[in-house]
Chains A and B, each alone.
Chain A
Amino acid sequence: MTKAISVSGLHKSFGRTHALDGLDLEVGTGEVHGFLGPNGAGKSTAVRVLLGLLRADSGTARVLDRDPWSDAVEVHRRIAYVPGDVTLWRNLSGGEVIDLYGRLRGGLDRGRRAELIERFELDPAKKGRTYSKGNRQKVALVAAFASDVDLLILDEPTSGLDPLMEEVFQRCVREERERGRTVLLSSHILSEVEELCDRVSIIRKGRTVESGSLADLRHLTRTSITAELAGTPGGLAALPGVHDLDVRGHRVRLQVDTGRLDAVLRALGESGVRSLTSTPPTLEELFLRHYQAEGAEGAAGTGDAKGAHSGGQVATR
């Protein structure tokens, strides 16, 4: 598969702050890629490097098979970018800005522009100053989705949208994927990521800590199980991958590495299962593990019974 974005070992410092500390990122052509990380992890810095607005100190970055710094203009012809905080010119109308952004890229599909304005319920005649945060974002989103480009870079694009508009946004992203376009979506809205993204990369402190498909990542986490058994359970503690085992009479509560679920279920079945609740790992749990500043790397290591420790390994498959 060709790569729309390919980044390795990217470093960027601002004075003493190391915003990027060896970032790796691979985004395949045609995929919707989630880009996640806690506040200050370096997401926006990475995006600005990908746009050639910042120059990396070291490491390589390729966007659409070009160098985003030296070939900025050529790369930008095929990119649409939506910043998280859209600032407009106070005396230009939304429609004017949409058309301007479109012309500054590869061009604008007039029909799609009209359709998107309709769908996002945007009034394009209003001036920049009078738009709310959500409406300013819609201006940038309409311009991005209506532009004739190959790659969309969306940096927390929905932080001001209402749930209805969030729906519209998600539909638009799916349409983009169906047309074969690549989307890099930086977001904190996990349901949105779960809904849209083929693969995700999680970064923390300027470094990629996990990368892969959601299924891959889920595999690395634990499933919670609560079971009511006919007899006394035996041998559960000895099973690999079982954590926080709590047995009270016939009642069992435990957590198990999702990759080891099979053996646990078999063991439970031997004792006769009366009721069973299994809670798959939520995305929140997955992300919280990585977001939490201390011990996140260690936590990732506990799930590595099958050796899938590093994000890189998952990413390369």
Chain B
Amino acid sequence: MTTTTGAVTAAPSAARSGGSRQLAGTGTLLRFALRRDRVLIPVWVAVNALMVLSMPNTLRGLYGTADERADLARQMETNASLRAMVGPLFDDGLGALTAWRVGVYAAALAAVTSLLIVVRHTRDEEESGRQEVVASGMVGRRAALTAALLAAAVANGVLALLVAVGLAGQGAVGAVALGLGIAGVGMLFATMAAIAAQLTESARLARGLTAGVLGAAFVLRAAGDSTTDDGASVLTWLSPLGWLENLRAFAGERWWVPALIGGAVVAQGVVAYALAGRRDLGMSFLPTRPGPAAGRLGTAGALAWRLQRGAVLGWSAGFLLAGVVYGRLTEGAADLVGDNAQARRIVERMGGQAGLTDAFVSAMVGMLGLVAALYVVASVLRLSGEETSGRAEPVLAGAVGRLRWAAGHLVVAFGGAALLMLFAGAGFAAGHGRDAGAILAACLVQLPAVWVIGGAAVLLHGVLPRGAVAAWGVAGAVLLLGWIGPALDVPQSVLDLSPFGHLPKLPGGEMSWPPVLALVLIAAVLVAVGLTALRRRDLTT
């Protein structure tokens, strides 16, 4: 944390010199930001670092001998669908295996952390009106943005340091490269979020746009890697996550790639700074258009849909596109290698199912299901947002029961999740061009697990209104378990904690109703208990 204290002590002198009044107060704001994030940043960084650092050990267990590793490398070279899932393997050392297996996920997590930090300390503050008082103090026009970016830099810097030191045993150079790459992607999304925060008036939209780019980066990398075995595809290069892969940590590092990332970070930073200096506080560049003078909204349900429809449309479009791309990848994936026991075992370790095409579809659909869990949490937590912002109060002071009010949002949340999986299935089937029924079934079978996560969010909001955000922790843990749990050789009892672990592996696997029905029942019980608690407790204000 030396960076913090350094910046804090430097700030007053910078303010006094008068040379950088635009940045006056940055040190104070940075310290304030780190103070507010004193739990979030350490937890995020620790989870991410643990995920990366535990990888070599697990991989040693899975691919202990040189033969096994060489075999894996051969598989990755020849099998397009495997590459689509995790990317190409550039070397068969443990370090390279670690970078290959977890690099993209670690970078994605760093990206999420960074974008949340930046938006939280910029647009969120403006939207809430808190920034107004702060900005009326001795605070420069660009100080808030600088402090937010520095806070993200602190988080990413510590993460890079932990990765570099922790993996040094696998080769110091590669460890430094991987650490830099992960942190670099983090900062890439930090500066991207900074631009989004200037362009939109809504923090939610700024987060959504940046997260959308992250989702696209995921899909693009997968699409690119399925076509080439060396990461050279244009699609891969379009994805910031593909850049990390092309850095080739532990496999003859290309040092110009971190330079490229750094350049992009600076370029985006410049754009964000230029925008930040030019606009009015609390405003964006897109003027708010007037709305209708009279409204047709008449029920709490209609209001919930009106508030959430934009998000539902955005998520639906994303799922449809991701489905189409994955469908295209599936097309012909099996033809390349035929059915092969070794490849199947690898896919199974990704959480898929036997039968290569089926396994690929199953793994991809499972991934979309996990992402849908994020949607359902975001949607359910609108209840919490409406309540704590005080907007729920006048609605509930109308002739609207709490259950009716909650039901509006829950229909959007739980029904919306079904809509997303339908769109994903439709896109998948369209891209794949056959097996529409089986693919759609595979998508829909994810729903009970998604609903259980949604139910957990409802329960938290009902029972612990101030701790409702913990639902994000639930979704995040399930996401991590699903993505890298199998590779980490996590004990089955832990994997079983995730509702997704109990779903039948479709297509290919056997459809089994008892776990599906049990999950639906669990979701229903969670919702019922949450709503009962909501009905009985005081409204938080």
Report A's interface with B, CB cutoff 8 A.
48, 51-55, 72-74, 76-77, 79, 81, 83, 85-93, 95-101, 103-106, 123-127, 129-130, 140, 153
Docked-complex contact A55 and B398, CB < 8 angstroms: no
> Does any Cβ of A come within 8 Å of B6's Cβ?
no
Q: Does B368 contact A (CB under 8 A)?
A: no
Residue of A whose beta carbon sits closest to that of B294: A95
A77 touches B290 (CB 8 A): no
Name the residue of chain A whose CB is nearest to the CB of B399: A77
| A93 and B288 alpha carbons, distance in the complex (Å) | 11
- B375-410 contact mask (Cβ, 8 Å, vs A): 1 or 0: 000000000000001110111111111101000000
What is the interface of chain B, defined by CB distance below 8 A to chain A? 127, 201-202, 288-300, 303, 306-307, 389-391, 393-402, 404, 536-539, 541
Determine which of B288, B293, B298, B398 lies in contact with A129 in the assembled complex, contact meaning CB atoms within 8 Å. B288
Residues of A within 8 A of B127 (CB): 90
A-B CB contacts (within 8 Å), total count: 120
List of 5 A-B pairs having minimum Cβ-Cβ separation, nearest first? A104-B398, A93-B291, A96-B295, A103-B298, A81-B397
Other-chain contact of A72, B389, B401, B537 (Cβ < 8 Å): B401
Q: In the complex, which of the residues A53, A72, A98, A106 contacts B393, with contact meaning CB atoms closer than 8 Å?
A: A53
11 other A-B residue contacts (CB within 8 Å) besides A85-B390, A87-B389: A51-B397, A76-B396, A81-B394, A81-B397, A83-B393, A83-B394, A92-B306, A124-B293, A125-B293, A127-B288, A129-B288
Residue of A nearest to B391 (CB): A87
Counting chain B CB atoms within 10 Å of each CB, which of A48, A91, A105 scores highest? Answer: A91
* Inter-chain contacts of A96 with B (CB < 8 A): 291-292, 294-297
CB pair A95 B291 closer than 8 Å = yes
Cβ contact within 8 Å between B292 and A125: yes
Shortest distance between the CB of A243 and any CB in chain B (Å): 43
- Taking CB atoms, residues of chain B closer than 8 Å to A81 are 393-394, 397
B290 touches A99 (CB 8 A): no
How far does the alpha carbon of A92 sit from the alpha carbon of B306 in the complex, in Å?
A: 9
Q: How far is the CB of B131 from chain A (nearest CB, A)?
A: 14
Residues of chain B within 8 A of A140, CB atoms compared: 394
Q: List 26 A-B contacts (CB under 8 A).
A: A51-B397, A52-B396, A76-B396, A76-B400, A81-B394, A83-B394, A86-B394, A92-B297, A95-B291, A95-B293, A96-B294, A96-B295, A99-B294, A100-B303, A101-B394, A104-B298, A104-B395, A106-B399, A124-B293, A124-B294, A125-B291, A125-B292, A126-B290, A127-B289, A127-B291, A129-B288
Q: Are A83 and B395 in contact (CB under 8 A)?
A: no
A100 — nearest CB in chain B belongs to which residue?
A: B297
- B296, B297, B390, B395 — most chain A CB neighbours (10 Å): B297
Measured CA separation A48–B392 after assembly (Å):
12
A73 with B306, Cβ < 8 A, contacts A93-B295, A96-B297 known:
no
Contacts of A79 in B (CB 8 A): 397
Report the bound CA distance from A116 to B117 in whole Å.
44
List of A residues within 8 angstroms of B537 by Cβ: 55
How many Å lie between the Cα of A103 and that of B301 in the bound state?
12
Known contacts A87-B390, A93-B291; A54 and B297 CB within 8 A of each other: no
B282 closest partner in A (C-beta)? A129
Determine if B296 and A99 form an interchain contact, defined as CB atoms under 8 angstroms apart. Answer: yes
Decide: B288 and A73 in contact? CB cutoff 8 A: no
Establish whether residues A90 and B294, one from each chain, have CB atoms under 8 Å apart when the complex forms: no
In the complex the two chains form, what is the Cα distance from A106 to B400 in whole Å? 11
Q: Closest Cβ of chain B: how far from A88's Cβ, in Å?
A: 7
State whether A127 touches B290 (Cβ < 8 A). Answer: yes
A140 and chain B: residue at smallest CB distance:
B394
Q: What is the distance, in angstroms, from B282's C-beta to the closest C-beta of chain A?
A: 8
- Contact (A53, B539) CB under 8 Å given A93-B290, A106-B399: yes
* Bound: A95/B307 CA distance, A: 16
On whether the beta carbons of B298 and A76 are closer than 8 Å, the reply is no
What residues on B are CB-neighbors of A86 within 8 Å? 394
Q: What's the minimum C-beta distance from B465 to chain A, rounded to whole angstroms?
A: 12
Q: Are B393 and A90 in contact (CB under 8 A)?
A: no
Contacts of B402 in A (CB 8 A): 72
- Alpha-carbon gap, A86 to B300, bound state (A): 18
Contacts of A123 in B (CB 8 A): 290
Report the bound CA distance from A97 to B389 in whole Å: 16
